[in-house]
């Protein structure tokens, strides 16, 4: 099923049956996972625990520069066989040749993959020689479109991509990805919904009407959060960081703070009418299932 169908009002109404939801139309639920260092079995157990929430998509990260391509592909195959939700592999073009990318998409297509998340990626620090056939994600979108019939999602940044001079520049560049054929935008994680609302307004104002799916991270570790947010441009609201700071060494308390905060964030986003919510589950079911129990 293509992204434009998954996020359509008709489909959202159709899948509403499994969970009692008192709002108007339930948002589509999706999860992001990454290839585990060892076997996929534990992750599959976690995903099985989340099956009852009727996810529509599971996105699978891809190592920068094609590193861990095999781990990513093996996970894509495993998730396809699990039949919990449609897999959506991520796919980056930084430090990759056109030939390499073409053979990877062919491999995905031969597995019956219909949707991919097309990204530029970042240059890995440990790579000395980096030859990229494509400079930006819009070129990758065009390339995938020219070679396959796949449906393509791209990344969006509610707090602006760190390299962009301003929002105008970033959204002009986002529009290039949509004009090249992307059907949905998945956002970077954020903790202040006001950034998302403002971003959505700017994107719509630029004439982009594809679904914009907010990325939600249930926080489970303060140090991990600091590491993740130091790599991208993400505000942690003061009252949240103060609470987390107080319980820094206490994983259980941090997890509960993360769950409560994500519930609050998701409830507001649902009231705002988002088409979907994409959870960065970090390969664990507990926090996301607590959040979904609370919001539906
Ligand atoms: P682009 O869209 O190319 O944008 C990068 C920068 O260039 C922006 O500042 C943009 O404004 C500018 N730009 C874009 N197009 C043009 C143009 N035509 N001309 C001039 N400037 C332009 N990374 C991974 O390595 N693996 C993953 O699995 C992964 N998954 C992700 C999932 C999501 C939902 C998100 C939000 C990010 C993910 N990332 C992943 C991180 C991502 O690769 C980085 O954020 C990267 O820096 C930008 O990728 P992009 O596709 O947004 O690039």
pLDDT grade for 177, boundaries at 50, 70 and 90: very high
Q: How far is residue 263's CA from residue 27's CA, in Å, rounded to a whole number?
A: 14
Helix axes 137-147, 98-110, angle to 10 degrees: 50
- Nearest-CA residue for ligand 1 atom 45 is 121
For residue 51, the CA-to-ligand 1 centroid distance in Å is 30
Architecture, CATH, for domain 3-295? Alpha-Beta Barrel (3.20)
Residue 280: which region, alpha, beta or left (left: phi > 0; alpha: psi -120 to 50)? Answer: beta
| pLDDT at residue number 281 | 98
Q: What is the pLDDT of residues 140-164, one digit of tens each?
A: 999 999 999 999 999 999 999 999 9
Strands 184-189 and 86-92: unpaired
Helical packing angle, 167-179 and 193-205, nearest 10°: 60
Contact 185, 229 (CB under 8 A): no
* pLDDT > 70 in the chain, percent: 97
Cα 292 to chain centroid distance, Å, stands at 17
Region 268-292 average pLDDT: 97
Report the largest interatomic distance among the alpha carbons of the chain, rounded to a whole angstrom: 54
> For the chain, what are the domain ranges?
3-295
Q: Per residue in 229-262, pLDDT tens? A: 888 889 999 999 999 999 999 999 999 999 999 9
- Residue identified by tokens 């009418």 is 273
**Who has greater pLDDT, 235 or 26?**
235
Residue with the smallest CA separation from ligand 1 atom 41 is 121
At a CB cut-off of 8 Å and minimum separation 6, what does 296 contact?
Answer: 19, 20, 21, 26, 53
Neighbours of 156 (CB within 10 A): 28
Residues 155/213, Cβ–Cβ less than 8 Å = no
Of 288 and 24, which is predicted with more confidence? 288
- For a ligand 1 pocket test, name from 121, 134, 138 the mutation site with the most ligand atoms within 8 angstroms of its C-beta: 121
Most informative mutation of 125, 136, 172, 210 for ligand 1 (most atoms within 8 A of CB):
136
Report the mean per-residue pLDDT for the chain.
Answer: 94
CA distances from 12 to 7, 56, 67, 101, 229 (A): 7, 10, 36, 33, 32
Query: Is the CB of residue 213 less than 8 Å from the CB of residue 275?
Result: yes
Ligand 1 cavity residues, CB under 6 Å? 61-62, 64, 90, 92, 117, 119-122, 136-138, 155, 161, 163-164, 169-170, 173, 176-177, 186, 188, 215
pLDDT for residue 17: 54
């Amino acid at each position: 099923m293509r992204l434009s169908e998954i996020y359509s009002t008709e489909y959202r109404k159709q899948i509403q049956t499994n969970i009692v939801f008192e709002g108007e139309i339930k948002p589509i639920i999706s999860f992001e996972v990454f290839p585990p260092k060892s076997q996929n079995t534990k992750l599959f157990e976690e995903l099985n625990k989340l099956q009852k929430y009727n996810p529509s998509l599971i996105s699978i990260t891809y190592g920068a520069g094609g590193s861990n391509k095999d781990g990513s592909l093996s996970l894509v195959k495993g998730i396809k066989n699990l039949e919990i939700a449609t897999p959506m592999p991520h796919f980056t073009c930084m430090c990759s040749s056109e030939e390499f990318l073409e053979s990877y998409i062919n491999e995905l297509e031969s597995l019956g993959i219909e949707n991919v998340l097309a990204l530029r990626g970042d240059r890995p620090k440990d790579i000395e020689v980096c030859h990229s056939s494509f400079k930006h994600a819009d070129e990758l979108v065009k390339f995938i479109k020219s070679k396959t019939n796949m449906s393509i999602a791209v990344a969006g940044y509610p707090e602006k991509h760190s390299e962009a001079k301003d929002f105008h520049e970033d959204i002009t560049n986002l529009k290039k990805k949509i004009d090249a054929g992307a059907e949905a935008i998945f956002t970077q994680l954020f903790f202040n919904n006001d950034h998302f609302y403002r971003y959505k307004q700017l994107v719509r104002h630029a004439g982009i009407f594809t679904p914009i799916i907010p990325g939600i991270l249930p926080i489970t570790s303060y140090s991990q959060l600091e590491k993740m947010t130091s790599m991208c441009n993400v505000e942690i609201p003061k009252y949240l960081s103060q609470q987390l700071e107080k319980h820094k060494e206490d994983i259980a308390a941090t997890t509960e703070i993360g769950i409560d905060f994500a519930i609050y964030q998701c409830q507001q986003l649902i009231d705002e009418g988002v088409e979907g919510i994409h959870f960065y589950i970090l390969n664990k079911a507990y926090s996301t299932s607590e959040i979904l129990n609370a919001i539906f």
